[in-house]
Chain A
Amino acid sequence: MPLQQVAPVLSNIQIAEGIFLLTLESKEIAQLARPGQFVNIRSTDGSLPFLRRPFSISHVHEDSIDLMFNIVGQGTRMMASRRVGDTLDVLGPLGKPFGYEAHFETAILVGGGLGVAPFPLLTRYLKKHSKKITTFLGARTSRHIVSTNLENIQIATDDGSSGFHGTVVSSLESYWGSHALPGPKIFGCGPTPMLRALSETAQKLHIACELSLEGDMACGVGLCQGCPVETTKGERKYALVCIEGPTFNCNDIILR
């Protein structure tokens, strides 16, 4: 059950090039949140920007939640300027969590860019359920990497400044060829082209794979119907990212 709250900013710091970590006070959302869920945030009281912005819940503490974001436009620029003591209107937790309890032994976390965002909380839950974890992170350069609260990290960078020189998906494929990852399940998050490549790799290697999608959404609660993703399941052509996702089994959706 989601809540709508005016949450005070506890901290707002830059943690990598262009990437911010915002901590908001909300005991209630912190307690309800599960890995893969998101909050929908209003960055202003006015109507510029007009809509809320969805953010993965990155991590939770006893009475606060962490969100990771980069500046892409007016809303995130305003969020980056929020200081301790300012408040933000938060709606959440929303969406369907990752299936972290399912039958698998090793969790393979694959994050492209800011796609790393939901992984700290996911890692906590995976450890709680005694899963083995290997984490693949992809970033443009070594300066864009965020790797706190993660386990067994394999890094890939576009420019080769750190780790594997290439995409995060090719780094996973290369690692897979030479390492044993028993009873694997992939958890992926990142830009759509990366998720498409990851989905193909997972299908090729016969690994179960769950993806966390982004959608152009307004409400985040199923009212606006703005965030469809093509589905292969059932009679319906589309599923809604906000309430039926954002996490989907990669076989259930078609990424375009």
Chain B
Amino acid sequence: MVKESFTLRGVEFKNRVLVASGTFGYGNEVKELVDVNLLGGICTKSLSWKPRDGNPPRRIVETPSGMLNSIGLANVGVEYFIREKLPYLRTVETVIIANIAASSLQEYGDVLSLLEKQEGIDGYEINVSCPNVKEGGLSFGTDCAKTKEITASLRRRTEKPLIIKLTPNVTHISEFARAVQEAGADAISVINTVVGMAVDIHKKKPKLSTVTGGLSGPAIKPIALAKVYEAAQVVSIPIIGIGGIMTAEDALEFLLVGATAVQVGTANFIDPSTGVKVAEGMRSYAERYGVSDLGQLVGAMESNKEFSVLQSWL
């Protein structure tokens, strides 16, 4: 029997595979296709105070081994979520993490405080890293002081797990990881999408309506691994690895470089049961190698730090 669970600020996750915000709706969309109770956790679509229409089409573009998106945080708004979506999520036997996106410090606080009053939310993931909105998003996530301020402010409002989702679109993600740890975050999610673009050469126009978008999928896995590894060198809080995970092998790479858990994102668009399959595969790996607790794999990669170029900037 392999121990798969882990705990974050007193909340137990049954396994180390969550589904990423924005890739699994509010859970009920695919309940007929996958047993969501077998997931370690569900991160909801980003919630803002008011409903958001999102960006005009075109919002998605397929790219080699990945996709660009510019959804623009389209969501039902926190009140509708509480009324219409949360009742279903309360019936699901897994950890529910409300992902919050906002365009001001005030809005982050208001959304979180309203959710604090509800039953059924186990923790929060704060999106300071959406590349597809003009206000909030990356303007917060690429500003270390602002990211720290948001973290500290939300920390004062909740005793539940507080996870900050970081962007890779900065010079040194380790600085941001350190800052949010100091501000009281319980964990960091690494990484959100990578800013990218694609061009229609026939129309001589960008393919996405917003010109640039966020790249996700296997194309960004090597970037994500390097960012998790970098962050793991400087923080002691758990890291949730995200970026192009399609298989258990991918997830195990993230654990080995220092992630405590992972989130499956874009893969859900191709197969909504990917998360469940990844969790199964990790269990088989542990059995095969005689690992009694998946936690033993976290940061267990053997590497010669002497040769690590990364060390020079940490």
Contact = CB atoms under 8 A, between A and B. Distances in A.
B45 to A, nearest CB: 8
B74 interface: yes
Contacts of B24: 223
Interface string B55-69: 011111111111101
A196 B71 CA distance: 24
B176 to A, nearest CB: 27
Given A1-B32, A2-B32, A226-B71, 8 more contacts: A4-B273, A50-B63, A215-B57, A216-B60, A223-B25, A224-B60, A225-B54, A227-B59
Contacts of A42: 270
Interface residues of B, number: 37
A253 interface: no
A224 B23 contact: yes
A132 B62 CA distance: 41
A222 B32 CA distance: 13
Interface residues of A, number: 32
Contact of A50 (B33, B66, B74, B271): B66
Q: By CB atoms of chain B within 10 A, which of A48, A49, A218, A243 has the most?
A: A218
A213 B45 CA distance: 25
B269 interface: yes
A219 B268 contact: yes
Interface in A1-26: 1-4
B32 A226 contact: no
B65 A50 contact: yes
A236 interface: yes
A218 B58 CA distance: 12
A228 interface: yes
A223 B250 CA distance: 22
Interface of A: 1-4, 42, 47-52, 89, 91, 215-219, 221-230, 236-238, 243
Nearest to B28: A222
B212 to A, nearest CB: 16
Contacts, number: 98
A50 B64 CA distance: 7
Interface of B: 22-25, 29-30, 32-33, 45, 51, 53-54, 56-67, 69, 71, 74, 217-218, 246, 266, 268-273
Lowest 10 A-B CB distances belong to which pairs? A226-B60, A237-B53, A218-B269, A219-B269, A47-B65, A222-B29, A225-B71, A1-B32, A226-B59, A225-B74
Given A50-B62, A217-B60, A223-B29, A228 B67 contact: no
Given A47-B65, A52-B270, A237-B53, A221 B59 contact: no
Given A2-B32, A216-B57, A237-B53, A226 B69 contact: yes
A51 B53 contact: no
Given A50-B66, A221-B29, A228 B56 contact: yes
A238 B45 CA distance: 17
Nearest to B73: A225
B62 A228 contact: no
A224 B69 contact: yes
